[in-house]
Amino acid sequence: MVQALVIGGGPAGLMAAEVMGKAGLSVLVVDRMPTMGRKFLMAGKSGLNLTKEENPDAFHAAYREATAPLLPALTAFGPADLRDWAEGLGQTLFVGSTGRVFPKAMKTSPLLRAWFQRLDDLGVERRTRWQWSGLEDGSFSFETPEGAQSLHPEVCVLALGGASWSRLGSDGGWAKILESRGIPVAPFQPANAGLHVKWSEHMTRHFGAPLKNIALSAGGARARGEIVISKHGLEGGGIYTVFRDIREGAALHIDLLPDLPTDDVVRRIARPRGKTTLTNHLRKTLKLSPAALALAREGSPLPTGTEALAALLKRVPVDHEGPRPMDEAISTAGGVRFDALDDGLMLQAIPGVFCAGEMLDWEAPTGGYLLSACLATGRQAGHAAARRLRA
């Protein structure tokens, strides 16, 4: 008999399974995909950002209104604890200049292989291609390659992800099952997504070009970062940092010269340029890239007045048409509301069933925050489930 069932083989689910396995429980992890950890592996394509080392108050503030309900998990398993855990799996880590923590290998696969071996050593079973289809009176129904299956675990941790990247297993389809049981689920919205921009013809040559050393502002948020001009619009970590404010209606502006006060920009533009074109003058005196200058004049010619031009370069408006589709987003906002859970992340309406990871109603920018909260809530749910069985 399965004592503890985990539905979802991503970071949150695997962490819950590890905790319950160490507690001596019989644990089974099931996942709808042919292999587990697919989104986790994709996260490491450009370098696996495990967490971020910074002042705890700043770290927790990244979760905004979800800070309070997430705080117990993030305090019990903070960035230092996450580093110890990863190093315990044989991963050599380093801290980047911005405080982001990466494995020296930069990839997910070495860590995931070591993690699977640890779970095997704990006796945790794993099954793939198991699609959760229903929950009734403690019975969890699945569609599997062997046909319909039903399990009656003593506790269950749901770690089913959000509603982005359906090709990797996260499509939010689980929400209908929980809502049918009266569980409140906040509507899904894209988070950490690109912006759709209808570019004019002159931007075509700049598709794929990065914009570095810039600052983005939207509403009350301001962040330094890097973005990329694509044929669909704008993408990249700089956008993700201010994405929520943009999604909620704030206008986006880009400071192409964040290290120069406006007065300095005015003085540099005012230097004699002789027969040099304005564009070349700006490239030389302000070190602006062709892509940056193209963005500045997108929609209208550059102003001729020195002060007006300086003001524009310090605050370029971006006329966009909103976020790219949710399935292209790195993560999503929305999910199981915290007021439906107790302090151990157990559903109050379904005793013995816990929720963890991105399926909870929280969001955060990229930079180590997403994975930190997924692992921390998986650990919290696993411990709470084990305590319930011991009690």
Q: Is 313 helix (H, G, I), strand (E, B) or coil?
A: helix
Question: How much is the average pLDDT of 220-243?
Answer: 94
Of 358, 352, 349, 348, which Cα lies nearest the Cα of 378?
358
H helix or E strand, kind and range, residue 135: strand 131-136
Q: How confident is the model at residue 13 (pLDDT cuts 50, 70, 90)?
A: very high
Phi, psi of 212, rounded to the nearest 5 degrees = -105, 160
Phi then psi for residue 368, to 5 deg, are: 105, -15
Q: Which two tokens stand for residue 309?
A: 């031009």
- How many Cα atoms within 13 Å fall on the side-chain side of residue 155? 27
Indicate the pLDDT class of residue 327, thresholds 50, 70 and 90: very high
Instruction: Share the mean pLDDT of the chain.
Output: 96
Q: By the 8 A CB rule, do 156 and 354 touch? A: yes
Q: Which residues fall within 8 angstroms of residue 65, CB to CB, at 6 or more apart? A: none
Q: Is the pLDDT of residue 363 over 90?
A: yes
Task: Say what the pLDDT of residue 299 is.
Answer: 81
Contact 243, 193 (CB under 8 A): yes
For residues 296-308, give the mean pLDDT.
92
- Number of Cβ within 10 Å of residue 273's Cβ equals 14
The CATH number of domain 4-190+332-390 is 1.10.10.10: no
Domain residue limits, the chain: 4-190+332-390, 195-317
Tokens representing residue 265 in the block: 């920009």
Tell me the average pLDDT across 298-321: 94
In the predicted model, what is the mean pLDDT of residues 13-26?
98
**What is the arithmetic mean of pLDDT over 172-199?**
97
Residues in the chain, overall count: 391
Q: What is the pLDDT of residue 235?
A: 95
pLDDT tens digit string along 119-160?
999 999 999 999 999 999 999 999 999 999 999 999 999 999
Which residues are 335's β-sheet partners? 186
Q: Which residue has the tokens 């180590």?
A: 368
pTM of the model: 0.94
- Characterize the bridge pairing of strands 125-128 and 27-31: parallel
133 Cβ contact partners less than 8 Å away, ≥ 6 residues apart: 141, 142, 143, 148, 177
Q: How many beta carbons lie within 10 A of that of residue 221, not counting itself? A: 16
Kindly tell me the sign of the dihedral angle through the C-alpha atoms of 212, 197, 290, 221.
negative
**Residue 204 CB neighbours (<10 A):** 11
Nearest to 295 by CA among 246, 212, 229: 229
Average pLDDT over residues 278-293: 95
pLDDT per residue over 23-74, tens digit each? Answer: 999 999 999 999 999 999 998 888 999 999 999 999 999 999 999 999 999 9
Number of Cβ within 10 Å of residue 361's Cβ equals 25
Does residue 255 carry a pLDDT above 90? yes
Structure tokens, 84: 């110890």
